[in-house]
Amino acid sequence: MDNLAVRTRLDGPLLIITIDRPQARNAVNLAVAQGIAAALAELDGRAELRIGVITGAGGNFCAGMDLKAFASGERPWLSGSGFAGMTEAPPKKPLIAAVEGFALAGGFEIALACDLIVASRTARFGLPEVRRGLVAAAGGLLRLPRRVPYHLAMEIALTGRQLTAEEALTHALLNRLVEPGHALETALQLAREVAENAPLAVVASKQLVASSYAWAPEEMFARQRGFADPVVNSRDALEGARAFVEKRAPVWQGC
């Protein structure tokens, strides 16, 4: 499933999504938004797919919104999923960002909407919207303060300065920091580790980590049951226990 701006390919249970506009540093126009949305629908809709990896072609992840397209009246938002077809509605299944080069403005917001981030030492992150008379309204100003200290988030938002990959690692924004050219390779290795696990448990675990920060202490465990109980009562839970007892690899059914 490709369009002219987004390519996808399968690697076993992995779906690899590539923003393919290297001449524009993979800036997001409407075609990119539609392509990403379609790819994530495929990820969530196909039972054999366990996890996605999103990256950019030509040495950059994504330089943000295509300002030329924006100036001509195009808006790369989709109803229900937001900017780039994903920032307001990430997939239910895990998604890893594999970042080389620039991940700026909307590109950084795409990465922040992912569950894991692998970046090379060439990577640069930032929210320079204030320098263009814009606001980082695709989740950057909402997600970043939950990932880094308040004053650092405020500095990035108000100055528009870029964060180096080493700084991002220092502030725990990254899962892996790798040498240039190896972000996708390492992201795929990490994705395969995730894909080995029980699919129902992985999805429920993602949902709990992503949602529970906003739950009141007195309701946390009650709300957790809605995610955890279907997993505990699944066939895969029994399979995991039997595989452990029988000293073999489990065979997951996703049910």
Check whether residue 26 and residue 80 sit in a common domain: yes
Asked if 24 and 58 touch (Cβ cutoff 8 Å), the reply is: no
Q: Is the pLDDT of residue 1 over 70?
A: no
Check whether residue 220 and residue 99 sit in a common domain: no
Residue 34 forms part of a structural domain: yes
Q: Is the pLDDT of residue 65 over 80?
A: yes
Q: Is the pLDDT of residue 3 over 80?
A: no
Tell me, rounded to whole angstroms, the distance of Cα 246 from its chain centroid: 36
pTM for the structure as a whole: 0.94
CB count in 10 Å sphere of residue 214: 7
Check whether residue 150 and residue 216 sit in a common domain: no
- Average pLDDT for the chain: 96
Per-residue pLDDT tens for 71-115?
Answer: 999 999 999 999 999 999 999 999 999 999 999 999 999 999 999
Structure tokens at 16: 């690899």
- CATH code for the domain in which residue 178 is found: 3.90.226.10
**Domain hosting residue 233, numbered range:** 199-246
Helix axes 140-147, 150-159, angle to 10 degrees: 150
Check whether residue 163 and residue 188 sit in a common domain: yes
Check whether residue 13 and residue 50 sit in a common domain: yes
Select from 176, 195, 214 the last residue of a domain: 195
Catalytic positions: 109, 129
Check whether residue 213 and residue 91 sit in a common domain: no
Per-residue pLDDT tens for 37-59?
Answer: 999 999 999 999 999 999 999 99
Residue 112 forms part of a structural domain: yes
Check whether residue 161 and residue 219 sit in a common domain: no
Residue 254 forms part of a structural domain: no
Rounded-to-integer distance, Cα 161 and Cα 3, Å: 33
| pLDDT-based confidence at residue 2 (cuts at 50, 70, 90) | low
